[in-house]
Amino acid sequence: MSYTVTPESFARLTSYWADSNSGLKWGSIFALPPWLEVWWRTFQLKTELYLASVRDGSGVIGIAPLHLKGREARFVGSPDVCDYQDCVIVPGRGSEFYNALLDDLGRRGVSQLDLNPVRPDSTVITSLLDVVEKRGGDVVCQEGDVTVEMDLPGEWEEYLTGLDRKQRHEVRRKLRRLWEAGDVQYRCHEVSPKDVNGLTDTFLKLFSLSRAEKADFMTSQMEAFFQSLAEAMTEVRLLRYGILEVASQPAAMIMGFDFEGAMYLYNSAYNPQYDSLSVGLLSKILCIKESIALGRRKWDFLKGAEKYKYQLGGSEIRLYDCRITLK
C-alpha cells in the first residue's frame, strides 16, 4: 500500500478534529489543534513548523505535530506547559503511520527525534519505538516526571469511602469549617466568551499571589500564553474555571479543561489571606465533587507528584523522555 505525507495547517488540523468520522484519536488536550496553535504563535521559535498528515486510500491515518531544527525534530509544545504529548493516529494504524513519517523525515535530513514527555500508553511508546528498532535505529527512553490521575465513581459518598480513613475525615472537616465561615460560594462551569478575559485576569492575579515561584513562572510571555490559551479553549467550549469565593471575594480558582469525559486540572491559584480555610485544596475537592455529579469518568491532576494528589485518591503514571536516532 502506498502512503503520502502532506503538509497541513492548524486550520486543517482543526477540520480533522471536528470530523467525528475521521477515526483519529486525539489522546489529550495537549494534542488538540487550538492548544498547539496557541503555543506555536506565542513562543515563536526559530524552527520549521512540521504539521504533517499521513494518508492512504482511506484518508488520513495520522498526524505528526512537530517542529524541526537542523537534523532534530521535537513536538510542538514544551514540558513546562504541555504535560504530556503524542501524535494523533487512527487506532491500529501506528506502525504504518510511523514508517511513512520516518521515511519523510529521513528525506528531510532529520536523524534525531527528541520526544518528551510521553505517557506509557502513548503511540510513541506503543508503536514508534518498535518501528525504530526494526529499522535499525537507536532508542533511549528515560524516566521523567509523573502524572497523577484517578477514575471517578458515580457518587460523591462512594468517592469519600474510597479515601483512607484519615483523609476522609480531613476532607469532611475542612469542608465543614469552610461552610461555617459564612458567605461562601463555589462554582465550576463552562466559560463564556464575554467572561473569559475577566476571569483569566482574576486567575492570573491569584496565581502570582499564591507562591513566589508561581509569580516568577508567570513572565509576560507566559501570561500572554495563558490569556490566549483561555480564549482559544473557550471558543471550543473546553475551558472551566472553578471559583471559590469567601465574602464575595475570589479566594481560590482552578483552571481546568473538560474533554471526553475527563476533567484536567491544569493549574490552580489562591489568596494566602484565606490559608486558614484551606481554600486552595478545597477548590479542587469541590470541583471533584461537581465532576462526579456531572458524570465525569476521570480526574487528571496532571504532571507533578504533589502530596495532595495522592491524598485525594490519585495514582501516578510515570512519564518518559525519549531520544531516538534514525538510521
Pair (183, 108) in one structural domain: no
User: Do residues 171 and 55 both lie within one domain?
Assistant: no
Is residue 327 very low, low, confident or very high in pLDDT (cuts 50, 70, 90)? Answer: confident
Q: What is the pLDDT of residue 147?
A: 97
311 assigned to some structural domain: no
State the pLDDT at residue 189.
82
Residues 127, 166: one domain? no
pLDDT at 1 over 80: no
Burial annotation 189-201 (CB, 10 A radius, 16+ → b, else e): eebeeeebeebbe
The pLDDT, as a whole number, for residue 44 is 86
Cα–Cα distance, 127 to 54 (Å, whole number)? 15
How is residue 87 written as a grid cell?
501524535
Q: Is residue 196 part of a domain?
A: yes
| Residue 203: pLDDT over 90 | yes
Residues 120-158: pLDDT tens digits? Answer: 999 999 999 999 999 999 999 999 999 999 999 999 999
The answer on 78 and 27 residing in a single domain is yes
* Predicted local distance difference test score (pLDDT) of residue 43: 93
Model pLDDT, residue 60: 97
Q: DSSP string of 117-180?
A: EE-TTSHIIIIIHHHHHHTT-EEEEEEEEEEEEEE--SSHHHHHHHS-HHHHHHHHHHHHHHHT
How many structural domains compose the chain?
2
In this prediction, residue 211 has a pLDDT band, given cuts at 50, 70 and 90, of confident
Residues 189, 261, single domain; the answer is: yes
pLDDT digits 0-9 by tens, 90-129: 999 999 999 999 999 999 999 999 999 999 999 999 999 9
Cβ–Cβ under 8 Å, residues 86 and 31 = yes
Q: pLDDT value at position 27?
A: 86
In a domain, 302, yes or no: no
Span 164-174, pLDDT tens digits? 999 999 999 99
Mean pLDDT, range 271-284, rounded to an integer: 95
Q: What is the CA radius of gyration of the chain?
A: 21
More confident residue, 89 or 211: 89
Q: Is 4 helix (H, G, I), strand (E, B) or coil?
A: strand
Query: Is residue 64 situated within a structural domain?
Result: yes
pLDDT digits (tens, 9 = 90+) for 34-84: 999 999 999 988 999 999 999 998 899 999 999 999 999 999 999 999 999
Consecutive H or E run containing 88: strand 88-89
* 194 shares its domain with 133: no
* pLDDT level of residue 210 (50, 70, 90 thresholds): confident
Q: Which three cell numbers stand for residue 107?
A: 528525506
The answer on pLDDT for 216 being more than 90 is no
Report, as an integer, the average pLDDT of 264-291.
96
Structural domain of residue 85, as residue ranges? 4-144+320-325
The yes-or-no verdict on residue 182 having pLDDT over 90 is no
CATH number at residue 62: 3.40.630.30
Same domain (yes/no): 203, 69: no
Query: What mean pLDDT, rounded, does the chain reach?
Result: 95
State whether 169 and 132 are in the same domain: no
**Percent of the chain with pLDDT strictly greater than 90:** 91
Based on the number of CB atoms within 10 Å of its own CB, is 99 exposed (0-12), middle (13-18) or buried (19 or more)?
middle
What distance lies between CA 229 and its chain's CA centroid? 12
- Among 172, 239, 235, which Cα is nearest to 200's? 239
Residues 178 and 140 occupy one common structural domain: no
Instruction: In whole angstroms, give the CA distance from residue 153 to residue 104.
Output: 45
Residue 215, pLDDT above cutoff 80: no
What's the chain's length in residues?
A: 327
User: Does residue 237 lie in a domain region?
Assistant: yes
